[in-house]
Structure 1
């Protein structure tokens, strides 16, 4: 079985093989983070209660000391030879992917992030968190 990783770059979809289970887990997390949006309970990622994306956004606010939530797997950056434990990408990449995916309208889902809202990374400045706290 071939498992694939999807990477969105400037509206292009790049597919590459996955070598770690953390990639799969993060894709499941993306679906869970969008549940409040898709069900129509929340309108934005920042108002999606009880999701990891809201917690990560809160921890990355420039008004706080940026950090990663202790109870969540940290972002470890891009895949590399000596990869530490964690999700194999950066917070900003994850936020952009969740935002972009949430703006895709689906007939079988009630909710969608308003297309008139600017991309999440243009709405706020998020500082890259370091370590867990």
Structure 2
């Protein structure tokens, strides 16, 4: 049975979510359509650009993404506190990036007109609504999917639905779920045999992270502190940075460890490239408190391993009890 979105997105449980949207009919985001003979790779560029533009507007950061032939994956972090700290002017500025036509009361406010008590009450309600929508995942996806649908329908010279009725979401309840889901998303082209190496996995966050890391000048004699600073600076500006538990504005994992872990994981999908597990990879898995086989299963079957919530058995059982549910998939 379809569940209400408000029961699936619970920011008090986690700010991290895995989002998936799929095209309906024989619609293509990319690649060669054997029916029309057209190539639609440029639509992936539309999606990535729009996704990043929206993350500059919303209090929603992109942790990972992969744009496939007829669907996409995004791992996001909702920064509710950031949105709550915005000034009234900042909320209006961001909202007007999405919608050029505002409310007459807002226009009067911007023109420095004095509002009476009743008007101020209505104005405050408008700002509160806009603020809430600017950290709402459903509004983020609405602004992403509607834009792409209009562009694609215009190009195809047709009307009608472009996307399935609802996007799918998975709440990522702990660090292990966040990292394994990010790797699952980043490895999509490798798993689908569209690419053989991460650097050739077009329109993925891992390709973007690798490119930035390799093209940032480095000093071989850097101290540990400077190495961590380099890792911070070498990451894409429009992606949520990997960092440490000490920095709440980053993903609690070092960039260099994530790149090594995903690189090793990618070779597990290519038998002729599979090699021994390095000591560093074993140490990384130990930090995550996850066995090699469990990790490889997660990055292969993450979407099917869990339903709307992903995390340890304890976290899933606790959340199920909190939501008065008998059981969540993944508990076993």
Q: For this structure pair, what is the TM-score category when the shorter chain's length is used for normalisation?
A: 0.5 to 0.7
- Residues 98 and 113 of structure 1: is their aligned pair in 2 closer, same or farther, counting only changes over 3 Å? farther
* Superposed CA RMSD: 2.8
| Segments of 4+ moved more than 3 angstroms | 20-23, 63-66
Q: CA deviation at 1:25?
A: 2.8
Kindly indicate which of the two structures has a greater share of residues assigned to helix. Answer: 2
Equivalent-residue separation in structure 2 for 1:113 and 1:58 (angstroms): 25
* The one of 208, 230, 235 aligned to 1:68: 235
How many residue pairs get aligned? The number is: 90
- Residues 69 and 22 of structure 1: is their aligned pair in 2 closer, same or farther, counting only changes over 3 Å? farther
**What runs of 5+ residues in structure 2 fail to find an aligned partner?**
1-172, 218-232, 278-332
Which residue pairs with 1:99 in the alignment? 263
Which residue pairs with 1:87 in the alignment? 251
Q: CA deviation at 1:51?
A: 0.9
Query: Deviation string for 1:55-101 (max 9, x for gaps)?
Result: 0011111x435521122110113x3xx43311111111001111121
> Pairwise mapping of residues 1-133 of structure 1 onto structure 2 (< 5 A)?
21=174, 23-61=176-214, 63-65=215-217, 66-77=233-244, 79=245, 82-105=246-269, 112=270, 114-115=272-273
Larger relative contact order (CA 8 Å, sep ≥ 6):
1
Query: Deviation string for 1:86-130 (max 9, x for gaps)?
Result: 11111110011111211224xxxxxx275178x9xxxxxxxxxxx
Equivalent-residue separation in structure 1 for 2:205 and 2:183 (angstroms): 9
Equivalent-residue separation in structure 1 for 2:209 and 2:241 (angstroms): 10
TM-score by length of 2: 0.24
The structure number with the bigger radius of gyration is 2
Equivalent-residue separation in structure 1 for 2:188 and 2:256 (angstroms): 20
Equivalent-residue separation in structure 1 for 2:274 and 2:266 (angstroms): 13
